[in-house]
Amino acid sequence: MSRLFDINGIMKNLQTRTVTRIDKLAETLRNDIHSRNLREGDLYLTAAEASRMLGVSQVMANRAMNVLAGRRLLIRHRRRGSFVGPACKPKSSPAALRVIHVFKGLAKDERQWSYVIGDCLHGLHTVLPGYQVQSNVLPRHNPAEMVRQIFEQYSGDGTLAGIVLLSCPREVQEATQKLVREHRLPAVSFGSLYPNITSIPSVDQDQFETGRLQAKYMIDRGHRRITLLMREYWQPGDNLLAEGVNRALTDAGLSYGVLSTRSIPENAGISKTEIDRLLSLDNRPTGLICRAAIFAEVAIEVAQARSLRIPEDLDITHDSNEKYFPAAAGLSRVRTKFTSCQALTLVAELLEKIIDGKDVKKHNNILPVELVEPEN
């Protein structure tokens, strides 16, 4: 497992990114000149046209054009316009790729993932200005085929810049890895990867520590009947979380019988039926570790219907962002020490390095986590 991020170092990097943004915009314009096979003396875009293409203000576009003018890549004349300068030489290599595709898996609560996609788009536009970003929701049937079809559609004309995977299933990770290996397609994953996926860098919260902290919290509060509520379809991060839970039990010298595990769909009706059944047992759990926030919300509803006090009669913990799930805001939870926007900016930075041909030294980047107890 990779070392945790140096938070102070990364925050400093995020704060200084604004300094280099104009240079990146200028590079995007330079690539546009080459992709259109423009030659010295050809008329180029106005500042207004460049701002629309880059998706930035006209002031920012004008500053980027001035950078190229300082390098004699553009010659700018007041009222006449901007023209390709003498320093612009034809490129023999293909034009820079322009479209980044984001793929999102389905087994997630849409409330949280609408924000995650928004944060991902913000990170990509901040780090890679000038690139178009396309968001894709994977179908339930044969999702890998969508990845292959998009690659065939966009790679032929040289516009596919890279792929970002947001907690995608195994077959999508495998299809993407094949494209990475065979076509050098830049790709990054936000979420844990399957063991056979070794060619795609990833960013994920420390799933093992997430499970360990949640179980330790329950054990320290004296619970000896704990149920781990997991999603119906497990991914690698779920396995790591379960291992962390078991580590806490082992460290406390407790037998495995303290813990029971249930895998249930992220469906309010089905999860309500299962949680109600669990809480009706004579030896019902006194602590619930909820992998999905919807389980925590339903557990609160069922506990209230059964006149169970939280946390006195039933303790509940989860690892979802309370901003997206206000009903679970009063519970203990594990969170990353990065905001969603900061984490997805790191994803964009990794993709930027790959697009620029730089070496990515750490493939599995683990975000540190902490337990937040409810306020009394």
Task: Give me the tens of pLDDT residue by residue for the chain, a chain 376 residues long.
Answer: 444 556 566 655 654 554 477 888 888 888 888 767 788 888 899 998 888 878 788 998 899 999 999 989 999 988 888 999 988 876 544 444 479 999 987 655 566 666 788 888 889 989 998 888 888 888 888 999 999 999 988 877 778 899 999 989 999 999 999 999 999 999 999 999 999 999 999 999 999 999 999 999 999 999 999 999 999 989 899 999 999 999 999 999 998 789 999 999 988 899 999 999 999 999 999 999 999 888 999 999 999 999 999 999 999 999 876 565 666 678 899 999 998 889 999 999 999 999 988 888 888 999 999 999 876 5
Question: How far apart, in whole angstroms, are the C-alpha atoms of residue 301 and residue 287?
Answer: 15
Q: Which two tokens stand for residue 8?
A: 């102070």
The answer, yes or no, to whether the previous bond of 311 is cis (omega within 30 of 0) is yes
Q: Are 191 and 238 in contact (CB under 8 A)?
A: no
Q: Which two tokens stand for residue 166?
A: 């947001």
Q: Which residues, including other chains, have CB under 8 Å from residue 363's CB and lie 6 or more apart?
A: 2, 198, 200, 201, 202
List, by residue range, all CATH 3.40.50.2300 domains of the chain. Answer: 99-200+339-368, 207-336
Question: How far apart, in whole angstroms, are the C-alpha atoms of residue 118 and residue 43?
Answer: 36
Please say whether the dihedral angle defined by the alpha carbons of residues 134, 46, 24 and 180, taken in this order, is positive or negative: positive
pTM of the model: 0.73
3-state secondary structure of 107: coil
Q: Name the CATH topology of 7-84.
A: Arc Repressor Mutant, subunit A (1.10.10)
Q: What does DSSP assign to residue 258?
A: G
Q: Which residues, including other chains, have CB under 8 Å from residue 52's CB and lie 6 or more apart?
A: none
One-letter amino acid of 16: T
Q: Are 321 and 335 in contact (CB under 8 A)?
A: yes
24: closest CA among 317, 374, 353? Answer: 353
* The pLDDT of residue 323: 60
Question: How far apart, in whole angstroms, are the C-alpha atoms of residue 31 and residue 331?
Answer: 51
Q: Are strands 99-104 and 132-137 parallel, antiparallel or unpaired?
A: parallel
Question: How far apart, in whole angstroms, are the C-alpha atoms of residue 191 and residue 30?
Answer: 34
3-state secondary structure of 152: helix
Q: Are 200 and 176 in contact (CB under 8 A)?
A: yes
Strand-pair partners of 132: 99
Burial class (CB in 10 A: 0-12, 13-18, 19+), 39: exposed
List, by residue range, all CATH 1.10.10.10 domains of the chain. Answer: 7-84
One-letter amino acid of 31: N
Strand-pair partners of 75: 83
CB atoms within 10 A of CB 273: 14
Q: Name the CATH topology of 99-200+339-368.
A: Rossmann fold (3.40.50)
Q: Are 288 and 274 in contact (CB under 8 A)?
A: no
Q: Name the CATH topology of 207-336.
A: Rossmann fold (3.40.50)
Q: Tell me the Cα Rg of the chain.
A: 25
Question: How far apart, in whole angstroms, are the C-alpha atoms of residue 368 and residue 371?
Answer: 11
- Give Cα separations from 72 to 41, 66, 89, 331 (angstroms): 12, 10, 11, 60
Q: What does DSSP assign to residue 376?
A: -
